[in-house]
Amino acid sequence: MSLPVAFPAWADCGSCAAIVRPFVVDQGFNGVVMVGHGSHIDYSASFGLADAATGRALTADTPFESGSISKWIAAMLVLRLVQQGQLALDEPISMYLPDYRADNGAKLTLRLLMSHASGLPNAIDEAIKRDPATRNLSIDQAEAVRRFASGDLHFEPGTDWEYSHSNWLLVKAIVERVTKRDYASLVDGYIVQPLAMRHSGTFAGSSLAVPGMAHGYLKLAPSAEPLDKPSPDFMMLAGGFYASANDLFILVDGLFSGRMLSPELTRILMSVERPAQHYALGGRTKTLSFGGKDHPVAWEYGSNGAYRVLVWRTLDDGHTVILMNNTSFDHMKMGDLGAALMEASYR
């Protein structure tokens, strides 16, 4: 297979191109790279294929699964509903789900669920490991909560941290119960449409049903090996959001320029709840050094199957790096590339 071809749309960051092109050649990176500050994109380039069978090339408008960045989207939506007075972060969830297990319901809150400090065991992932067909289950949210989010707590809520997708089954049940709307329509109405994101939304089942979606591959060379891991509707908050690089750039700029949440709720979204893990609500905030200075950084990484998506945004001055890949790329190498590009954005 020939080397991927780059299609730069903007190139105000000359050192970015000098970093990216050798990386693509040496590492066989197949994906999209974007660097900017504020609302301005300084560098954008796409490399390789969205669909090996047809030869369709990737672009900055190609949608990718965003993996666990979906949790950050879910937290944004919850805080929009908090802003409207429909939800509260620190009320017991029995207030919203009176039929839920009473002992857990009295202890758990939305803040604890969205910071993975609830103690709720990761029963859904355990079920998928036992039987991968669980990904194809078609059950309503109440049944999903009963099966996969109603176990005995591993620890007293708020005293420890455990990454558990089951938390997000409960958050979805709460959001839909309170608003009387399905989650997909809420994301579209509160996030996608207001920000004019053109290639973003939610999916259930296989993401390949989404028009223009980048196909996922275990690898492309010497032959393409497809990799598709469906995500059931009841796990939509944990991993059912998709977006293009252009749309993710619009999202982070819209969020941190105040077009989605009040300044106070944006601060709450990014405030670290679990310091050892840098975990806030649905995502992480880290302090990293770029341009000779320490910066607080919204640090989000998502993966599912072959998809890898990384989004960094400095919270003090708005420098942004977005990386997207659809060939099971090494996430540590993506982190190294992201750090090099963020540093380059300050030159």
For 282, residues 6+ apart whose C-beta sits below 8 A from its C-beta are 71, 72, 73, 74, 75, 76, 114, 269
For residue 261, the model assigns a pLDDT of 97
Residue 315: φ, ψ to 5°: -80, -15
For 301, residues 6+ apart whose C-beta sits below 8 A from its C-beta are 67, 68, 69, 308, 309, 310, 311, 331, 335
Please state the domain extents for the chain.
Answer: 10-65+183-344, 71-179
For residue 3, the model assigns a pLDDT of 37
Given a cut of 70, the residues of the chain with pLDDT beneath it are 1-11
pLDDT tens profile 285-310: 999 999 999 999 999 999 999 999 99
Residue ranges of E strands in the chain: 10-11, 31-37, 40-47, 49-51, 56-57, 64-65, 201-202, 217-219, 225-226, 241-243, 284-290, 293-304, 307-314, 319-325
State which CATH number among 3.40.710.10, 3.40.50.2300, 3.40.190.10, 2.10.109.10 fits the domain covering 71-179: 3.40.710.10
Q: Would the CATH topology of 10-65+183-344 be identical to that of 71-179? A: yes
pLDDT tens profile 34-67: 999 999 999 999 999 999 999 999 999 999 999 9
Residue 116: φ, ψ to 5°: 60, 35
User: What whole-number distance in Å separates Cα of residue 267 and Cα of residue 160?
Assistant: 22
Contact between 153 and 107 under an 8 Å Cβ cutoff? The reply is yes
For residue 4, the model assigns a pLDDT of 43
For residue 9, the model assigns a pLDDT of 45
Q: Is the pTM of this model over 0.85?
A: yes
Q: If you classify domain 10-65+183-344 with CATH, what class do you get?
A: alpha beta
For residue 60, the model assigns a pLDDT of 98
For residue 8, the model assigns a pLDDT of 45
